[in-house]
Amino acid sequence: MTDLWRLDATDIARLVHTKQVSAREVALSALGRLDAVNPRLNAVIQFMPEQALAAADAVDAGIARGEAPGLLAGVPVTIKVNTDQAGFATTNGLKIQAGAVAREDNPLVSNFRKAGAVIIGRTNTPAFSVRWFTSNDIHGPTFNPRDKGLTPGGSSGGAASATAAGIGAIGHGTDIGGSVRYPAYACGIHGLRPTLGRIPAWNPGLPERDIGPQLMAVSGPLARSIRDLRLGLAAMSAPDPRDPWWVPAPLEGPAMPRRAALCVAPDGMKVAPVIVAALRDAAQRLRAAGWEVEELGSLPPLREPARLQAQLWLSMLPRGGMAAVEQENEPTALAVYRHMQALTPPPGLVEFQDALTLRAGFLRAWNLFFERYPVVLMPVSGELPFPDQADQGGDAAFAGIMEAQLTQVGLPLLGLPGLSVATGLSGTAPLGVQLVGGRYREDLLLAAGEAIAAAGAPPAPIDPQWA
């Protein structure tokens, strides 16, 4: 069995658990795949072959002693470079953080290790992890393995590109404005933004984050199968006292009706016909699997939550954030922050307090909606994956991108889970849909996502064919 890198995490863990293959064999295969395709993608930008093999050997030794292997025993994974991992720089795509070598692991890295995962590399992110495109002045650009002319997404573009190409079975991503869901969509795989507090995370080597990001930013898995997202979520969500937002919520909630609401244009957003067709196709897949799906013309608000999300996120700019952007002087990040300032000026104290106050009302409205419709089917984006670097086309282009990403930006204010499900292709461009549910009901999203994904061709590792 030579192409172990082609297998998903669930199969790898089973084979390692049952001693049909060794974790070292899996790691060697994964590292070989990394060497073969990463030069074209630049998805992984920090390498650790010696550490990976040592971790794999530790898994094999534990199994040989009769110890119970972890959920991800021997599974090759990647970590996003904005996340502390002991011995490696948490660059966040920045020259000014090139020397920010972590002394201890972020809780999610600790949880991967405790589950027996084998970390094979660290993945690229745009400068400040701020764009839906992935390039920076320290690590360079990352490319989409399906089409070099399309964005791999951002900010977890390196994780999505690597996972889509078979560099690791599960990629770690972070999401404050779509940074797990959109890269998964752009690269034609699946990505889960979990509920706030589901997966413990914290960077001990960096300053405490502002309250806005604390309320909105989460870590989550990207994978080529829905069952791998379920497995990754279980491993990543183990408790860690270092994250005060972590909640000991069960991974399986009470039974709910298999009922979903379909909304093709939430809050009147502009949605391309090919995306509408993909949404209705996904609805039919759900119906064929026994779900009741009702198409609605409207949902609880997302447009105003998106505006407030930007306010809370950008509140750090006048308090040193913009000075750091100017110090880094990375042109694309500078342009994006200036666009965002123009669209959403940083709030004063009153506006900041109002945003936090209004958050409760919007979340209440969505909670009540989920009582009737436990799952909502909506666009990941209003458009097919953007041409790479499209956000550098001026004010009008940036405003158009922001409108297309309404469902990416509105959700984090509420702390709700969202699942990006790959459904097919339009030419070389991936198609997908987004599922949204109530707090800590990732189980419902994964069940619906599994039904949708099962009716299509499962994503397979992609060999980049472009010159």
Catalytic residue annotation: 80, 155, 179
What residues have CB less than 8 Å from 357, skipping those under 6 apart?
none
The Cα 372–Cα 414 span in angstroms is 18
Tokens of 255: 């039974």
Identity at 77, one-letter amino acid code = V
Torsion sign over Cα 316, 319, 323, 328: negative
DSSP state of 68: P
Phi first, then psi, for residue 128 (nearest 5°) are 65, 10
Please say whether the beta carbons of 7 and 32 come within 8 A.
Answer: no
The Cα 457–Cα 28 span in angstroms is 28
Please say whether the beta carbons of 186 and 428 come within 8 A.
Answer: no
Tokens of 204: 């001990």
Place of tokens 């590792």: 461
Tokens of 243: 């994250």
Beta strands at 170-175 and 375-378: parallel, antiparallel or unpaired: unpaired
Within a 13 Å sphere around the CA of 84, how many CA atoms are in the beta-carbon half?
Answer: 18
Q: State the Rg of the chain over Cα.
A: 20
Burial class (CB within 10 angstroms; exposed 0-12, middle 13-18, buried 19+) of 296? middle
